[in-house]
Structure formats: structure tokens, C-alpha cells
Amino acid sequence: MRIRAGGFAAIAVLAAFCLALPALSQDVTVGYTGGYSAVWGSEGAGTYNGTLNGAPAQVICDDFQDTISAGQTWSATVLNAANLNTTNIVDTLFGSTIGLDGYAELATLVSYMYALPNGSATTTLGGITFSQADISAAIWYITGGPALSSLSATEVDLVNYVKSTLGINSMTDAQAEAYLARFGGLWIYTPDPNTHHGAQEMWSNTNVPEGGAALLYLLLAGAVCFGAMFFSPRKRLGNCETA
């Protein structure tokens, strides 16, 4: 079946939009409304009171270098932790420095954070009893924040447990990808790389899709259907005229 050149071009354009849509739909507005569940030294730690596209969410900061304030919002892209790989890891804030195994360590610690009911609670793993503040310190150390000498003995033990006892820091990329596949309930919100200073990379156990994505899908579906009717083969059009 032949398709006129105009019809082929239109379908190609529609296909390009369809391929681009998943990337466009990943844009999210992250906000910090103020307040956190724990304190590490003079720093807010634990889970933060935030928003994702305006919806309340408890978010976790992995960025010790940038400072945010209550009421602040910023644009970010979202990746599911289970989908991290050697290609998209560079789209995260620290992927180029800590790699897939580093984000596997972060995902492990973030999952520990969400397992604790509040900032004052503790849990014990591998003989180590730690709190949300300890988890935040370990996360920040991994991403290049406070020096190891600034951590408490418990926090050093927690870092070593995640890196060495679990063996994450010795994983190959393929092993790290397989390990990360278990964290499908965690999402990483990375600020725009051109404006990330003054914004922070956040993790959440909540995914908020763009409201406009569904509408774009409907519009594209309608356009495809219209194109299929309008750019039908000449032979079929001729048959309709002589019927």
C-alpha cells in the first residue's frame, strides 16, 4: 500500500511527537513547604515536607551542597530508581561522580528512611541501631557532603554496612542495575542542571505525573486517527468515488 509523500511526512512528525512525549511528561515542579522530621547537627534531616506538582509529599534530600528555604519551588525531571542504568545515570545530580553503585547505596538508605515512622524512631540492621538523622548523614556523605570525620561512629558503621557488608560498592554496572530493580517504589527528582544551584535533588516514594501528559496523548491519538483517514491510498479514495 502506497502512502502519499505528504501523508508519510505527517505520520513521521506524529511519530516523533510520540517518541518525545515520555521525556516531556517527566517535568515536575518540586516544592519545599518547610519542616523536617529530624535534625543532624544544625541541619534539617530525615523527611522534608514538600510538594510534587502541588500535591503534598514527604521527600528526602541527597544534596548537602545546596540550600533551600520554605516556600521555594523548582523544576525537576523524575526517574524511577528501578529504571536507572548506565545511560540515564548521568541525568541525576551525582551520577557522574558516584555512578550506579552510589545510587544503589542511596536507594537502600532512602528505603530505610521511609521504613522509620518518625524522626525519633530507630531501627537495627547488621547490629547497628540508627535513626533518620544517621541515615541523612550517610546519604550526604555518599554524595560528597560532610567528611567521614564529621560522622558519628554509628553513621560510619551505617555507611560501611551499606557499602561493604551489602557489597554494593563492589558491584558491576550490570549488578547495580539488577539491584536497583527492586526499588520501583522510589523516584528521584533532579533539578534542572542549568539552574540546580539553590535547588536540591530529592527522593520520594510518591510519583506525580504531569497533568498535561494524558491530554497530549489524547490529542496525538486523535491526530493519528485523522491522519489515517485523510492520508489513505489513492486507490481506496477512487473506489469510494465510483461506489
**Residues 1-45: pLDDT tens digits?**
233 444 443 444 334 434 444 434 468 999 999 999 999 999 999
Distance CA 232, CA 4 (A): 8
If asked whether residues 157 and 230 sit together in one domain, one would say no
Whether residues 16 and 110 share a domain: the answer is: no
Containing structural domain, residue 73: 30-208
What pLDDT does residue 211 have? 45
Indicate the SS3 state at residue 240.
helix
Whether 221 has a pLDDT exceeding 60, the answer reads no
One domain for residues 157 and 105: yes
- Residues 17 and 91 reside in one and the same domain: no
Q: Are residues 236 and 176 in the same domain?
A: no
- Do both 184 and 223 map to the same domain? no
One domain, residues 19 and 131: no
Predicted confidence (pLDDT) per residue in 55-77, tens digit: 999 999 999 999 999 999 999 99
Q: Give the C-alpha separation, 86 to 45, whole Å.
A: 29
More confident residue, 128 or 213: 128
What's the whole-model pTM score? 0.78
* Phi, psi at 117, each rounded to 5°: -70, -30
Query: Looking at the structure, do residues 171 and 90 belong to the same domain, yes or no?
Result: yes
pLDDT score at 209: 62
Q: Which pLDDT belongs to residue 3?
A: 31
| pLDDT-derived band at 194, boundaries 50, 70, 90 | low
Predicted confidence (pLDDT) at residue 83 exceeds the cutoff of 50: yes
Average predicted confidence (pLDDT) for the chain: 82
Q: What is the pLDDT of residues 91-150, one digit of tens each?
A: 999 999 999 999 999 999 999 999 999 999 999 999 999 999 999 999 999 999 999 999
- Say yes or no: 79 and 106 in one domain: yes
Q: Do 14 and 60 have their domain in common?
A: no
Residue 173 shares a structural domain with residue 70:
yes
Among candidates 162, 171, 217, which has minimal Cα distance to 17? Answer: 217
Total number of domains constituting the chain: 2
Same domain membership, residue 77 and residue 191: yes
Least confident of 10-14, 82-86, 150-154: 10-14
DSSP label at residue 65 = S
pLDDT tens by residue, 89-98? 999 999 999 9
Closest CA to 145 of 52, 66, 33, 30: 66
Q: Kindly indicate the confidence band of residue 197, based on its pLDDT and cuts at 50, 70 and 90.
A: confident
